[in-house]
A and B are shown apart, each in its own frame.
Chain A
Amino acid sequence: MSTVESRGTITVAVERCKGCELCIPACPPRVLRMSEARNELGVPYPELLPGCTGCGACLLVCPDFCFEIFQYETPVLHEVAS
């Protein structure tokens, strides 16, 4: 196991996502990936992995207003399989 620090996090409006994937390469720490599951529109949506910085790049490029951005007062640590 290893530890990954998240300085921020996001919420994702899964039901509104149209699955365009623009947020995936936009994320500087590369902690977004598309889901295997599909939403009610029948498309995959972004999932968050540990390491978010709360920079808001995903929000800036999202055409469907799916993201809210939060920055933690104290960074949150996650144990991940190395």
Chain B
Amino acid sequence: MSDVRDDALPTLAPPNEPARKVGRIKPALLLHEDHDLCPGCGEPVAIRILLEVIEELGQERNAIGIIGIGCYTAFTSTMDVDLVQALHGRAPSVATGAKRMRPDTLMFTLQGDGDMVNEGLQEVIHTAARGENVTCVLLNNGVFGETGGHMTSTTVLGQRTKNSLEGRDAGRHGHPILIGDLLAPLGGTAYAARGSVHDAPNVVKTKNMIRRAFEAQLEGRGFSFVEILTMCPTGWFVPTAEGPGYLDDVLAPVHATGELKNGERLVGTPQLLEAARAEERGRR
């Protein structure tokens, strides 16, 4: 199995020379590494950084995830945090209820674009507009990956999916919903950002976005949202190695990455805002 060519170095065991381990194979909050997602999928990368941030913020025993339905749902059996399985698209509403009952917890949802933007668009919009103090994490690949690979409301014009093999066409299929841009201007939204996992620098940037979103929640600033563009080479009909390039060329120009908002939910007057934050601090 280790038939490496002569000029390659041994990599089956840690080095014999004195060395410091600087990268772990998996986050501590992932019980084991095996999963059945397709080769080249971006979702496990997003789940790695999500779990690492929970760990780095010391919220391992304080986090509750409300999980939507999609390929990523397979990780509910290996993520070592408290999880609730929501109905398709309803995770933000479940998170609202859970957070109101347990305001001391770090409450996040994990959803795909089919789950959040198709099945449950009104749930996330109302949760943001109300300024619920929860964090919604969206894994956006423009494909209903788990149920056959058809297009979603975020599929960009020209993107290939199972039922838009020639690319999404505005005349036949309508236009994509840019959910991050829809949520960011709402008064209840404190933090909104769109990242990507198609290369190492963007993985690091996206991890920082998740951290800032969770910090916004822990500071009681209101609704926070991180959209993560992920590769789905199976759904896009491209070789796995071309997934990152396809994301960068086709998805990213429309769903532009970067921070969309980093502030404070709007509460009537500065006095009311201070009172709301004091109440939040009191509850924690």
Where the two chains meet, the residues of A that have a C-beta atom closer than 8 Å to any C-beta of B are 6, 8-16, 18-22, 24-26, 33, 35-37, 39-40, 43, 47-50, 52, 54, 56-57, 59-74, 76, 78, 80-81
Contact = CB atoms under 8 A, between A and B. Distances in A.
Contacts of A50: 9
A67 B244 contact: no
Contacts of B182: none
Contacts of A57: 200
A22 B48 CA distance: 16
Given A20-B241, A35-B5, A65-B44, 18 more contacts: A9-B9, A9-B11, A14-B1, A21-B40, A33-B8, A35-B3, A47-B8, A49-B9, A59-B25, A61-B197, A61-B199, A61-B200, A63-B43, A68-B24, A70-B19, A72-B17, A73-B17, A73-B19
A48 B9 contact: yes
A54 B15 CA distance: 12
B204 interface: yes
Nearest to B27: A65
B12 A11 contact: yes
A49 B39 contact: no
A37 B21 contact: no
Nearest to B19: A70
B8 A49 contact: yes
B interface, by DSSP: helix, strand, loop or mixed? loop
Contact of A11 (B14, B20, B35, B43): B14
B34 A61 contact: no
Contacts, number: 145
Contacts of B44: 63-65
Interface of B: 1-5, 7-9, 11-15, 17-26, 30, 33-35, 37-45, 48, 197, 199-200, 203-204, 233, 240-241, 243-244
A78 B17 CA distance: 13
A36 B17 CA distance: 27
B23 A69 contact: yes
B7 A80 contact: yes
Contacts of B20: 70-71, 73
Contacts of B30: 65
A9 B15 contact: yes
- Which A-B residue pairs are the 4 nearest by beta carbons? A69-B23, A37-B3, A18-B39, A65-B33
A54 B3 CA distance: 23
Nearest to B8: A47
Contacts of A81: 7
B41 A63 contact: yes
Nearest to B207: A60
A15 B204 CA distance: 27
A22 B5 CA distance: 20
A12 B12 contact: yes
Contacts of A33: 8
Given A9-B15, A24-B241, A62-B45, A39 B7 contact: no
Contacts of A37: 1, 3-4
Given A37-B4, A60-B45, A54 B33 contact: no
Contacts of B37: 63
Contacts of B43: 63
B7 A49 contact: yes
B45 A47 contact: no
Contact of B11 (A48, A56, A62, A80): A48
A22 B23 contact: no
